[in-house]
Structure 1
């Protein structure tokens, strides 16, 4: 059976399929993890330790010796994405209650959900798109996007906007595994290669564990809102990213559109933040469902929009006359 090939046809499939499998189990048999106990319980409830290992391996996979062009391009996209999420958070806190909206079409929408959906780019999706529509340097710009992975950026935005107060050690704890991995991976290229291989293998495991904390009823209730959130993420982050790519990254804006997605790992952020700050627990489950929907929507739409935009820019750019022809004309 070609199970992996079938899963790979689904945008973000290696993350989302195990996630929905876990959600089905949790919805149908809520006490399954306690019933089985042991390693099975650890697999079903171990989101935090699994992600800790994943963050370590992600850090180890980053090579600090990236070219200046790659660093400028990736740095521009990452900082723009974070800045946009911060500005949106500042606006959202003026209108949304602390525990999120409780009733109506926007039930489940919270500042936590909005930030989690906007502050992280799907690096793998970005790289694959730019391999087809961008330059080698633009494709390699995903190197710094790993810095967005995990709850650190979400915590920084929540803290700086006054939504929550995090003790300094919580920030250190959120980034320490990543930093240790980064240091080891750059001290020894063999370690970078060794740990770097594990990043992909861990994705379905934390997807499954995360799914085991989600009730599918919440996903059904927030489904249409989740689709809308995904579209809004593309629009609100995509426009500034296009401008930043053009005027700072020296591109034509294609990389900006390609970076306007929601990362699969962002699905874990609401629960991770809630584990550190229990006051977010009431909003975390609905936020997780909304972010999961945004991941799917952006993973489907971003490649399509990028393709159309790239084609438009290619047609818009005037053809460059060959040098040989120009020389001949000059001689004549």
Structure 2
């Protein structure tokens, strides 16, 4: 059976398929994931943070220190794009419709969803289409996973703060990987295969924290919020990635999904500002539904952008172009037969 080959035909398949399988198990057979021991530690949402952390060690080992400033730049630009998308659209909705929003979507729900980002999905997609620098940009993008950007967008800047040690803890595994990969080239080569291997593992664990029933409880408004998130966030992030970062745009598309952590954002905001409390229940269900919808849609959007504007995986390696100083005839024919590759290289 060609299971892996089939999965790889799906955009972001090694991330999306395990994630959906995890969500399926958590929705219909949650008791299996709660058996305890190694089963729960690896296959439930309890293992998600550990597995993502390990993946950051592998990813960091591939990043050259000289590439760090570029990673910070790319991440900062995409973070700003997320803030503008979520805060700007939320502000617009508030001015036109008031805090209650429109079509059952409150300003709290809209901002909590659009201003967040799915770091695990971003990691999987840019690992497939991008380079180590794209992945390292996650160290900055991690800021959007919590309620911080939402609080800023709602005017709660005086009450919101991110402890410095929390930021250090978030990027710690990445730093460890960078150090190991830079002091020993053999370690870099040893850890490189682990990036692709661990993606399905943490994807399943992330999916095990999702319940499909949340989509039903949120109704059409939650599904609509998911499409709205991809449309608004995707447009702004792709625009910033292409015209400020001067990149093809696939990283901007990859960061347009809603974060699983954003499900808790409405409640976190209401703890600080009681005025939002009446909207928390509906917003929480709607954001949870949007998380599932965006996890399905964003890989296809990213694949489309990568195909249209190019990606790192489209660039032929030197070893593919030359053997002993001579071009390989088979590859020359292949490149001629593929207009997409020719367009990207030109």
TM-score normalized by the length of structure 1: 0.69
Structure 1 position 54 matched with structure 2 position 45: no
Question: Quick check: 161-170 or 46-55, which moved more?
Answer: 161-170
- Note the 1:58-207 alignment, pairs <5 A: 58-66=59-67, 77-91=74-88, 94=91, 104-106=103-105, 109-117=109-117, 122=122, 125=125, 140=131, 143-148=133-138, 151-155=142-146, 157=149, 162=156, 164-207=160-203
Structure 1 residues 191 and 124, CA gap change in structure 2 (3 angstroms):
same
1:161-185 Cα distance to aligned partner (Å, 9 max, x none): 5464333222221111211221121
Closer, same or farther: CA 202–71 of 1 in aligned 2, 3 Å: same
Partner of 2:18: 18
Question: Residue by residue, what CA displacement relative to the aligned partner does 1:182-217 show, whole Å, maximum 9, x if unpaired?
Answer: 112111111222223212211111111121221102
Partner of 1:217: 213
Structure 2 CA distance, aligned partners of 1:128 and 1:294?
A: 18
Structure 2 unmatched runs, 5+: 273-279, 311-338
Take 1:15 and 1:124, find their aligned partners in 2: how far apart are those partners?
Answer: 6
- What secondary structure does 2:161 align onto? coil
**TM-score scaled by length of structure 2:** 0.66
Contact kept? 2:259, 2:291, Cα under 8 Å:
yes
Q: Post-superposition shift, 1:277?
A: 10
Following the alignment from structure 2 to structure 1, what is the Cα–Cα distance between the partners of residues 265 and 188?
28
- Pairwise mapping of residues 261-300 of structure 1 onto structure 2 (< 5 A)? 261-263=253-255, 267-270=259-262, 286-287=286-287, 289-300=289-300
Correspondence 1:228 to 2:228: yes
Match of 1:41 in 2: 40
**Structure 1 residues 242 and 20, CA, compared in 2 at 3 Å: closer, same or farther?**
same
Q: Say yes or no: does 1:8 pair with 2:8.
A: yes
SS for the counterpart of 1:46 is helix
Tell me the equivalent position of 2:324: none
Aligned to 1:237: 237
> CA, structure 1 residues 295+214, in 2 after alignment: closer, same or farther (shift >3 Å)?
closer
Deviation string for 1:30-67 (max 9, x for gaps)? 33333x2111111213111112212222212212245x
Deviation at 1:7, TM superposition (A): 0.9
Distance 2:191 2:258 in 1: 21
CA–CA distance in structure 2, aligned partners of residues 203 and 264 of structure 1: 19
Q: 1:56 to 1:210 in 2, by over 3 A?
A: same
Between the two proteins, the alignment pairs up a number of residues equal to 288
Q: RMSD of the alignment, in Å?
A: 4.1
Structure 1 stretch displaced more, 289-298 or 164-173: 289-298
After superposition, the C-alpha distances for 1:257-297 in whole angstroms (9 at most, x for unaligned) are 333313499755547989x9996997677545424432432
Mapped to 1, the partners of 2:62 and 2:264 lie a distance apart of: 23
Of residues 254, 257, 260, the one that matches 2:249 is 257
Unaligned 5+ runs, structure 1: 130-138, 250-254, 320-332
